[in-house]
Structure 1
């Protein structure tokens, strides 16, 4: 079997390398960044020589791309060149409606598409312990589960195509809202004059703890805002979640507020920094520094 892998960024790169090391199949790769390709070929992958060539020769294709528009462009190329019977897993964070539309377009050509977004962050992608959630044909999920397990610690079949994307958007909405309120809370603590290290210790061992809080305190509150999960991508993900809420008539009370904070951060030029750099909005507006 030949596996194609498209998109070798912060998440896609380590997932691909773990896939190469964890399966007994040939893996061919494609990315716009030659350095990203080289990092994967160094562990045994082969460069595909272009997206069309990858699509033509692969039995299974993984895509890990930044936005729905990128996924649509790549899937269009796959549809034009892949053979009937090819199975595509989209690991990207995508809009459910987009995934369903692409699924229908590929199905007309005899190509299967499953949405398979992941959660856990870059560190867990590196150690192959991320969670992959899958929407689509359950028999295909079962058939390829060992392949998914090569780069993830937990694999969950969620339901029909699009359902995994719903789960991913809700997951990301929760963590981003948690991080937003953590940024506000830590700023209050700083201006109220309490010991920030002790405040962090209390929250991390108390009921206010969360993945988002730990991300904020481990990065932005240490002055480290080099991108792990870029704020621009978080803004995209939360925007998709807010759109999904609107689609289903759910009152937007929390998500849109966190989205507004991310929008302010982007307006201040922080979009290319780590998502935890949302704290810098408070620091900028209040001319203070929040550190632990």
Structure 2
């Protein structure tokens, strides 16, 4: 079997390298960044001459791309070149409606698309414990379970195509809203004059703890804003979640406020920083830094 992997960024790169180490199949890779490609070929992958060449020779294709627009562009090229019987797992965070439409467009060509977004962050992508949630034909999922398990620690078949994207957007909505309120809480603590190290210790061992809070404590509160999950990408994900709420008539009371905070952060030029740079909006507004 030949497996194609497209998109070798912060998440796709380590997932691909774990795939190469975890299967006995040939893995062919494609990315616009030569350094990202090299990092995978050094582990044993083969570089494709083009996306069309990859799509035309692979039995299974995995994509890990930044936005729905990128997924649509790559899917168009895959549709033009892939052979009937190809299984296409999109690991990107996408809008459920886009995933379902692409599935319908690819099906007549004999290409089966499953949405397979991931969660857990870069560290878990590196150590192979990432969570992969899958929407689509269960038989196709089971047929390729071992491939997905090569770079993940938990696999969940959520339901029909698009359902995994719903789960992913809700998951990201929760963590991003947690970061937003954590930034607000820490600024309150700063303005009230209490010891922030003790406050962090209380929260991390108390009921206010969350993955989002721990991310803020580990990066933002130490002034380390190099992107693990960039604010621009986080903004895209939360925007998709807000759109999904609107589509289903769910009142948006929390997520839109966090989205507005992120929009302010991007307006301040922090879009390329880590999503915990939401804290910097409060620092600008209050004229005080919040640091441990």
TM-score normalised to structure 2 length: 1.00
Q: Which residue of 2 aligns with 1:6?
A: 6
- Residue number in structure 1 paired with 2:242: 242
1:255 aligns with 2:255: yes
Q: How does 1:94-243 map to 2 (within 5 A)?
A: 94-243=94-243
Which secondary structure does the structure 1 equivalent of 2:105 belong to?
helix
Q: Distance in 2 between matches of 1:290 and 1:183?
A: 9
Using the TM superposition, give the Cα deviation of residue 286 of structure 1 relative to its aligned residue in structure 2, in angstroms: 1.0
Tell me the SS of whatever aligns to 2:134: strand
1:264 aligns with 2:280: no
Distance 1:87 1:246 in 2: 32
Mark the runs of 5 or more structure 2 residues left unpaired by the alignment. none
The whole-number CA distance in structure 1 between the counterparts of 2:199 and 2:228 is 25
Per-residue CA deviation, residues 30-57 of structure 1 (Å, 9 max, x unaligned), is 0000000000000000001110000000
Distance 2:175 2:53 in 1: 38
Shift of 1:274: 0.4
Q: CA deviation at 1:105?
A: 0.5
Quote the offset at 1:210 in angstroms.
0.3
User: Which stretches of structure 1, 4 residues or more, deviate above 3 A after TM superposition?
Assistant: none
Instruction: Give me the whole-angstrom Cα distance separating, in 2, the residues matched to 1:49 and 1:229.
Output: 29
Structure 1 residue 287: deviation in Å? 1.1
Distance in 1, Cα, partners of 2:223 & 2:264: 19
**Are 2:64 and 1:59 aligned?**
no
CA distance in 1, matches of 2:229, 2:251: 27
SS of the residue 1:260 aligns to = helix
In the TM superposition, residue 265 of structure 1 has moved relative to its aligned partner by 0.2
Counting only pairs closer than 5 Å after superposition, residues 52-91 of structure 1 correspond to structure 2 as 52-91=52-91
TM-score by length of 1: 1.00
- Consecutive unaligned residues in structure 1, runs of 5 or more: none
Q: Secondary structure at the match of 1:252?
A: coil
Give deviations 1:151-172, integer Å, cap 9, x for gaps. Answer: 0000000000000000000000
Q: By how many angstroms is 1:284 displaced?
A: 1.1
- Matched pairs, number: 292
Q: CA RMSD in A?
A: 0.4
Q: Deviations over 1:178-210 (max 9, x none)?
A: 110000000000010000000000000000000
